[in-house]
Amino acid sequence: MAGVNLQFKTNYAASSKIEPFYKGGKVQISKDEKYIFCTCGSRVNVLEISTGKIVHCVEHDDQEDITSFALSSDDELLVTASRALLLKQWDWKQATCTRTWRAIHNVPVASMAFDSTSTLLATGGCDGTIKLWDVVKQYCTHNLKGSSGVVHLVQFHPDIDRLQLFSSSLDCGIRMWDLRSSQCVCVLQSHYSAVTSLSFSHDGDTMVSSGRDKICTVWNLNSRKAIKTVPVFEAVEGVVILPQNEDLSQIGVKSKELHFVTAGSKGVLRVWEASTARCVYTQTLPTTFSSSPAEGDEGKDDDNPRGLTHLFHLPTSSRLTTVTAEHNILLYQLPALSTQHQFVGYSDEVLDVKFLGKGDSHIVVATNSCQLKVFELLTNNCQILYGHTDTVLTLDVFKKGFLFASCAKDRSVRVWQMDGDSGQVRCVAQGCSHTNAVGSISCSRLKASFVVTGSQDCTVKVWDLPAQFSAEEEEIHHLSARTTEKAHDKDVNSVAVSPNDKLLASGSQDRMAKLWSLTADGNVGLLGVFRGHRRGVWAVCFSPVDQVLATSSADGTTKLWSLQDFSCLKTFEGHDASVLKVIFVSRGTQLLTSGSDGLVKLWTIKTNECVKTLDAHQDKVWGLHATRKDDRMVTGSADSNITVWEDVTEVELAEEQAKQEDQILKQQELSNLLHEKKYLKALGLAISLDHPHTVLTVIKAIRQGENSQTLLEKTLLKLRIDQKESLLRYCVAWNTNARNCHDAQAVLQVLLTHLPPEELLQYQGARTHLEGLIPYTERHMQRISHLLQASMFLNYMWQKMRVTGDPSSMDKDEEMDTTPLGKPFYVIDKEKGKVGDEIRDDADDNDSGQDEDPDCPAEMDEDEAEEVSATTKACVIVTPAESRKSPEASGNHSSESEEESSDEEDVEIIEVDETAAKGETCLPVSSASPSQTPSS
């Protein structure tokens, strides 16, 4: 093995990411031409053009997809519409929602636009109506009806003095609305398919419209007539009138007549002269792009993946911007239409990724597409390389990093070269002789002399490269295979060339890896077979310093093999699914593996130990590559994300450890402060840790003591403003949980009671926090109200039972009496079947505080007796038979043994129903034990 005096890698941290930011839909560029706004599901992402980074992200809390959005002309306000039929106004620089209101539309909003003053907002709905909103005074000003179907286009006339709005819907007409009268003054009829774009001249008197019916129409807005209909022979998605005061002769503008640019299904920009309806310029794509559709294939333009979906003119910087059907955003500089920036909005699955260029400044990416993408890591600017005609499956880079090779499902292999100065990449060689998809490729290591490919046709081919490639861009060298070898019985998944270019390893779906010799004369000879994997082998890799081969398999293991006796030296187990890639780092002393479980693992070979697991992605990690110094690595996944990782140095690890120790010390200090009941210092320390749960623990401790409300008020009001801001933010999270809502409400009561509204509204995100508190607070109030109603109903039922059992309380006012019920009993005359006249209730006498003669029985009138006797299934307590001989005897006996009978007398519990009122005998339900019967 390699020397042990090396510094092992212990951790990799993500330094940058290339994530999807645009998946189709609307795109808008800010007035200052610095930012691109684009939709991505439930988000609007803000891309900074100069850096290629996502600097802001606006996302709906309800996770509903955004159907449309509009940026105001002064770049201050952003309004979004979602499928929940809500309009949200955003301070997009702070990513905070400042206002939410109902869209009034019955169905989602399909289009939106601001006027030039940034005060009026038009929304076109799928219900065929258009609403106009005054975003300053916050009310709806117009409700324009008359469109048929979805209003997919709304646009204000640039001259605000005209107060005109243009719209288009499914009837293909362009409606001109007079906002003074709220009437449609005319319908411009020319198109026979959807109108996609409108562009106005500088004086505002001329308008050009484009449509998917492959024509553009020039309109005179004063006469409201069509001046010219220009057939453009492609479905047009965007049109822009070119400025007349600039020299644009390089793109065919030779006169002062009106010229406009179209972008559509052909994927190229074309310039048209309006007066003659003649195309004066057609954009020429670079040679690395595949050719345009052949003659006679016009019908296939609609399915062209490079078709253009949007076109914008940036007058300040004199640029044109296009958006492709593949979600790429391209910026061209006028007058030459030279490519300035290319941004990839969505890459689909990432199948392979490699570092490229001087100092590993670029990465080349193979996605689920026939194009290759070369990203500059500093700016995220991207070159899109066309050449393959089917999905590119894998890549490999030569030693110096300026030459790389690719292979694809189109059964071809291509070699690409990067210019060291300009960074431009072009195809310099190609070859095609495999009979099936080419799924693996490996470049020579010592110098750029050959490449090896493995295919689904079960063969391995060696391709010779020329000593030098032609400098002519148009010239592409044709490669021929010097050797073809039937290597395996199933697909060849991986091939690797040894560091000395003398050995070749291959891994296959047949569960085996094989070692081959590469001779100078081009022959390939089998040296040995590595057997041991239980499923197909996905990757093979040679150690850079030892006679060792690493293989990874679909059985979830990675194995190290000896090149001398082909024995298995070590097995690494840790992935829960297929291990897709394996590479050596730290001069052969460590391994990096990636799997279909989305994990990347760092292994130390000597100890056979996994020292770090990176939860890198949410799906299969197909791409894994490290720089020559192993200080960085890059991963690419089927979740469309690309992540660049940097090795964390010892200093950074020490800083991280110091932070953790500081956290532990602060936690101990916090515990001491709580024990000493120094709540103000404890609360301030908890807020500084930015742990909401820790802050909640302090609040609970304060509320558990005596005079908790007063203590809570004194503590909270002594906090600084920034601490109160954090506390308000924590309350929003606490309030979502019923177990913590009481603490949150207690804190809110203090803040809302003692702080003026002006101060609260100055807190960062205060409006959003308060809006988030309202729905959960209402839910808690509703829950408590239901609980209170249930408890009141229980009290009501208890009181009714007392009224039934105590006739003496019937003359009293019906109040909610919560005193405990005594021991009432009724004397039932079984012979007559009705309630007796003698009632005794010592408990009630004691509760009322009245002195009554026990010999004087309480009296009930006939109405009360009937009410009691008619009570259904009421349980009453009856005196023993000895005490029911006569009213006189009963009265005398009760006066003598009042205390004893109340505690020990033998009772019978019977059910009284309507039969008692009819003179029928009531049978006892249960009786007391005879042993409990008192002596007479």
Residue 292 has pLDDT above 50, yes or no: no
Is the pLDDT at 684 greater than 70? The verdict is: yes
* Statement: residue 912 has pLDDT above 70: no
What was the pLDDT predicted at 878?
38
pLDDT (mean) for 619-644: 91
**pLDDT greater than 80 at residue 515:** yes
Answer yes or no: is pLDDT of 897 > 50. Answer: no
The CA-atom distances, in angstroms, between 448 and each of 92, 107, 460, 652 are 50, 61, 19, 38
| Token pair of 709 as six digits | 């409300």
pLDDT digit string, tens, across residues 686-698: 888 888 888 888 8
For 231-279, write each residue's pLDDT tens digit: 999 999 999 999 988 889 999 999 889 999 999 999 999 999 999 999 9
Q: List CB contacts of 432: < 8 A, sequence separation 6 or more.
A: 410, 411, 412, 413
Upper half-sphere CA count for residue 242 (Cβ side, 13 Å): 31
- 723-760 pLDDT tens trace: 888 888 888 888 888 888 888 889 988 888 888 888 88
| Contact predicate 343/381, CB 8 Å | yes
423, pLDDT greater than 90: no
pLDDT tens, residue by residue, 820-864: 444 443 444 444 444 334 333 443 444 434 344 434 344 444 444
pLDDT value of residue 651: 57
Burial of 887 (0-12, 13-18, 19+ CB in 10 A): middle
Q: Specify the pTM.
A: 0.67
The Cα-based distances of 668 to 107, 662, 664 in angstroms read 56, 10, 6
* Burial letters 124-155, b for 16+ CB under 10 A, else e: bbbbbbbbbbebeeeeeebebeebeebbbbbb
810/801 Cα distance (integer angstroms): 12
Single-letter amino acid, residue 243: P
Indicate whether 928 pLDDT > 50. no
Confidence grade of residue 6 (pLDDT, cut at 50, 70, 90):
low
The dihedrals phi and psi of 299, each to the nearest 5 degrees, come to -65, -15
Separation of alpha carbons 768 and 96, rounded Å = 7
460 or 817: which leads in pLDDT: 460
The distance from CA 416 to its chain's CA centroid, rounded to whole angstroms, is 37
pLDDT given for residue 902 in this prediction:
38
**The dihedral sign for the CA sequence 606, 611, 616, 620:** positive
pLDDT of amino acid 107: 92
Whether the predicted pLDDT of 890 surpasses 70 = no
Beta bridge partners of 188: 174
Averaged pLDDT, 303-328: 90
Q: Give the pLDDT confidence score for residue 526 in this predicted structure.
A: 94
Confidence bin at 804 (pLDDT 50/70/90): low
Residues 378-421: pLDDT tens digits?
888 899 998 999 999 999 999 888 999 999 999 999 999 998 88
Cα distance between residue 348 and residue 294, in whole Å: 28
Q: What is residue 301's predicted lDDT score, i.e. its pLDDT?
A: 56
Cβ(585)–Cβ(569) below 8 Å: no
Q: Supply the pLDDT for residue 886.
A: 40
- Distance, CA of 653 to CA of 612 (rounded, Å): 13
Question: What length does the chain have?
Answer: 936
Q: Tell me what percent of the residues of the chain surpass a pLDDT of 90.
A: 51
Per-residue pLDDT, averaged over 362-373, amounts to: 92
Each residue of 238-259: b (16+ CB within 10 Å) or e?
bbbbbeeeeebeebbbeeeebb
Amino acid (1-letter code) at residue 881 = A
- What kind and span of H or E run contains 374? strand 372-376
- The amino acid that residue 181 corresponds to is S
Q: What is the pLDDT of residue 768?
A: 79
Please confirm whether the linkage preceding 807 is cis (ω < 30° from 0): no
Is residue 608's pLDDT more than 70? Answer: yes
Rounded Cα distance between 234 and 285, Å, is 17
Q: Which residue has the higher pLDDT, 650 or 613?
A: 613
pLDDT at 625 over 50: yes
20-39 pLDDT tens trace: 999 889 999 999 999 999 99
Q: Strand pairing partners for 828?
A: 835
Is beta strand 524-530 parallel, antiparallel or unpaired with respect to 513-518? Answer: antiparallel
pLDDT value at residue 795: 83
CA–CA distance, 121 with 140 (Å, rounded to integer) = 9
Cβ 924 vs Cβ 909: under 8 Å: yes
DSSP string of 516-577, one letter each residue: EEE-TTS-EEEEEEE---SS-EEEEEE-SSSSEEEEEETTSEEEEEETTT--EEEEEE--SS
Q: What is the DSSP string of 178-208?
A: ETTTTEEEEEE---SS-EEEEEE-TTSSEEE
Amino acid found at 420 = G
pLDDT of residue 866: 39
Mean pLDDT, the chain, rounded, equals 82
CB 529 within 8 A of CB 508: no
* pLDDT attached to residue 905: 39
pLDDT confidence band for 803 (50 / 70 / 90): low
766 conformational bin, left if phi > 0, alpha if psi -120 to 50, beta if neither: alpha
Answer whether residue 879 shows pLDDT above 50: no
Mean pLDDT of 313-334: 93
Q: What is the mean pLDDT of residues 306-334?
A: 93
